[in-house]
């Protein structure tokens, strides 16, 4: 059985809820630490001595954009800009 099938079976049985939770946690742990290392590498590039006054919220947003660049590349910017402009026009 594959890992998702095992999780589905354990969840369907329902008599061991802690096993289901533990198995979900096990399935979400990355096999390698390369993605975590890339995340810290991007964070190191974003947060250096020149940008040490950056607020935490902005740092989180920039880090998320850098880490999830492949998802960000698929977003249509024209649609996003038009949506943002239309929301701001309604406020005025």
The 3 state secondary structure assigned to 46-79 is: HCCHHHCCCCHHHHHHHHHHHHCHHHHHCCCHHH
Q: Residue 70: pLDDT band by 50, 70, 90 thresholds?
A: confident
Q: Residue 90: pLDDT band by 50, 70, 90 thresholds?
A: low
Residue found by looking up tokens 């949506």 in the block:
83
**Does residue 58 register a pLDDT over 70?**
yes
Two structure tokens written together for 70: 């492949």
Rounded Cα gap, residues 86 and 53, in angstroms: 32
* pLDDT over 70 percentage in the chain: 79
Count of residues in the chain: 92
35 and 64 in contact (C-beta within 8 Å)? no
Two structure tokens written together for 81: 């800009």
């Amino acid at each position: 059985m594959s890992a998702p099938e095992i999780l589905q079976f354990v969840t369907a049985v329902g008599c061991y809820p802690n096993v289901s939770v533990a198995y979900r946690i096990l399935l979400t742990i990355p096999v390698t630490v390369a993605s975590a290392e890339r995340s810290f590498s991007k964070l190191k590039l974003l947060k250096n001595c020149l940008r040490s006054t950056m607020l935490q919220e902005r740092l989180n947003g920039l880090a998320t954009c850098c880490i999830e660049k492949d998802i960000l590349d698929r977003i249509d910017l024209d649609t996003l800009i038009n949506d943002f402009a239309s929301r701001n026009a309604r406020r005025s």
